[in-house]
Structure 1
Amino acid sequence: MNKRALDQQLKRWARLGYSARGVIYLVIGGLALLTAFGERGGKTTDSKGAILKIMEQPFGSVMIFLLIVGLLGYSTWRLIQCIKDPDGHGSTGKGLAVRFGLFVSAVTHLLLAFWAGRLLMGAGGGSPQGGGTSFLTTNLGQIALGIAGAAVIVTGFAHIYKGITAGFEKYMSIPADKRNWARAVCQFGLIARGVVWLIVGWLLIQAAWMAKGGEIDGTSEALQALRDHAYGPWLLGIVAAGLFAFGIYCIMEAVYRRINTSIVDQR
């Protein structure tokens, strides 16, 4: 395969990856919206719950297979972004932090693809917590959980900042006739996802403090925390709509993001 064909293949794989992430968040946001409005079939869930919901649909196995391919593509592209730095984040403290976040994203989406693969083969996804619960309730585990919670909170603020400043636009080529509404949708989605990360981070820190690491379910529990608030339906509805908007943002990344593959072949 020549360089041009390889570049095109990598771009298609990366765009399929952005689309896969978008589908997952559309399902998460959609189910949470149904919950906020008290509709039948609604639930607060996370990425794995969204995949399970997709699996229940007609041709669910085919959709999950495509989702797995997309997640593998997304993980590969995230790893390239981390190592080759095609977006020019650099080697400053901030740049290295962003690139480390890209590495974490690559690993988490790879694990999600592996989990979905086991589900597709009928092996079952297994518990989200796995065998790490006992470790997380030790002193060292509590410290690790607390650090993870702080890192998630920083990530949440980064998403909110990116949304407010529309920093995503420098990586996307959105047509002028779509730019105004697209900017608003993407900003809303990023801010909402940031809010969810802030809640998840706080829950992780609380879990570390109370030595109950095995009880954290991430996005699902964060949305449930909003639902249980005094103004739960309204808060959940707003954030759920934002997560749905984040799914649209991911789909727009799949279509309009500038993907620089020329740097991949550089030595």
Structure 2
Amino acid sequence: MPRSLARLRRLVSEGRSDAPGRVVDGLGRIGLVGYGVVHLVVAWLALQVAFGVPDAPPDAVGAVGTIARTPGGVFALVVAVIGLFAFALWQLTAAAMGFRWAHGNERMRKRVGAVAKSIAVSALAGIVIDYLMGLGSADGTVQQFAARVLELPAGRVLLGLGAVALIGIAGAMTYTGVRRTFMGDLDVRRLAPGVRNAIEVAGAAGHLARALAIGVVAGLAGAAALFADPAWAGGLDTALRALGSTVAGAWLLAVVAAGFAAFGLFCFADAATRRA
């Protein structure tokens, strides 16, 4: 075991990134591209909802279904799943022994963030697998999960704690977007200043839009806990439609959709330049 750990450390220290080897690095970058494509499709579906065009739900399930219906879409989704799991492994390695350029609290924050990224991309990979196997919608799954939690002893407390955790994630995303700490994970030294600025703006807008959406999901979970009613709970589809039903209505949803599109574009730059 010590010899295997030493080899892993050498792979991480000698490679282009904190990925454990070139194969995982390459597949992980493909996974990031797939992650970006999903966000772009979600943005497009959200825009359609904003302006009254009925279509698939503006969430990961709707995006995956839209991709699957394109020529070669199923094959692309299979490749994306492999890439997403590779990126998840990459992030776990980074959390364990990466971020060599960061120190102290900054390194700890980045390692915690890497674990969160691993969970997020693994969840998307799971959604793709569920869709390909013909399972149900995301919002139905969220409500079923909330119902099961509410049936447990202190279920309302547990669901409320879940809402608090989601608020914490939204807060961390907001911090990342405002402080633009994500740029530290990228190797952009050789890029032109204009390109670096474009990546930074897209990343900031994307993180803030996602933070807002997760904050709404947290609010829905909190309402389900408060009223002991799982019907209040919902995923991204419900959250985006809730934003569209506010006073700002379609325009607010359009702004959030633009943020999701910006994050999708940022993922492409992330795939090309990531070092952690």
The answer to whether TM tops 0.5 is yes
CA contact (8 A) 1:75 1:110 kept: yes
Which of 114, 117, 128 in structure 2 is aligned with 1:116?
Answer: 128
SS where residue 245 of structure 1 aligns?
helix
Alignment partner of 1:52 is 2:45: no
Q: Distance in 2 between matches of 1:228 and 1:113?
A: 30
Structure 2 vs 1, CA of residues 168 and 100 (structure 1 numbering), >3 Å: closer, same or farther? closer
Alignment of 1:161-176 (within 5 A): 161-174=175-188, 175-176=191-192
- Distance in 1 of aligned mates of 2:231 and 2:100: 36
The answer to whether the 8 A contact 1:207-1:216 is kept is yes
Shift of 1:127: 4.9
Q: 1:241 to 1:44 in 2, by over 3 A?
A: farther
Per-residue CA distance 1:174-225 (angstroms, 9 max, x = gap): 3124122222222111111111111111111111111223652321111010
Equivalent residue of 2:25, what SS? helix
* Count of residues in Structure 1 that have an aligned counterpart in Structure 2: 255
2: CA distance, partners of 1:224 / 1:53: 18
The alpha carbon displacement at 1:87 in A equals 5.7
| Residue number in structure 2 paired with 1:231 | 248
Structure 2: state its 5+ residue gaps: 1-9
Give structure 1 stretches of 5+ with no counterpart: 260-267
Q: Give me the CA root mean square deviation.
A: 2.8
TM-superposed deviation, 1:49: 2.0
Question: Could you say if the C-alpha distance between residues 254 and 147 of structure 1 is closer, same or farther in structure 2, counting changes exceeding 3 Å?
Answer: same
| Residue 199 of structure 1 pairs with residue 212 of structure 2 | no
Distance 1:154 1:95, change over 3 A: farther
* 2:20 matches 1:10: no
Letter in 1 for 2:49: T
Q: Deviations over 1:2-58 (max 9, x none)?
A: 9579622121122112112111111111111222233454x5422122111111112
State the 1:245 CA deviation: 0.6
Match of residue 145, structure 2, among 120, 132, 143:
132
After superposition, where does 1:132-151 map in structure 2 within 5 Å? 132-138=145-151, 139-151=153-165
Q: 1:118-167, CA deviations, whole angstroms, 9 ceiling, x for partnerless residues?
A: 533xx312354276344222343322221121111121122122112221
Of the candidates 259, 265, 268, which is equivalent to residue 242 of structure 1? 259
CA distance in 1, matches of 2:196, 2:108: 30
Give the Cα–Cα distance (whole angstroms) in 2 for the partners of residues 89 and 208 of structure 1.
39
For residues 183 and 47 of structure 2, the distance between their equivalents in structure 1, rounded to whole angstroms, comes to 27
Superposition pairs of residues 80-91 of structure 1, within 5 angstroms: 80-86=93-99
In structure 1, C-alpha distance between the alignment counterparts of 2:122 and 2:114, rounded to whole Å: 12
Does residue 31 (structure 1) correspond to residue 45 (structure 2)? The answer is yes
The answer as to whether partners of 1:44 and 1:224 remain within 8 angstroms in 2 is: no
Q: Secondary structure of 1:50's match?
A: helix
* Alignment partners' CA distance in 2, 1:145 and 1:98: 27
Does the aligned pair in 1 maintain the 2:220–2:234 contact within 8 Å? no
CA deviation profile, 1:82-125 (whole Å, cap 9, x unmatched): 33343667786x865664554354345334324423533xx312
What TM-score results when the alignment is normalised by the length of structure 2? 0.80
Taking structure 1 as the reference length, what is the TM-score of the superposition?
0.83
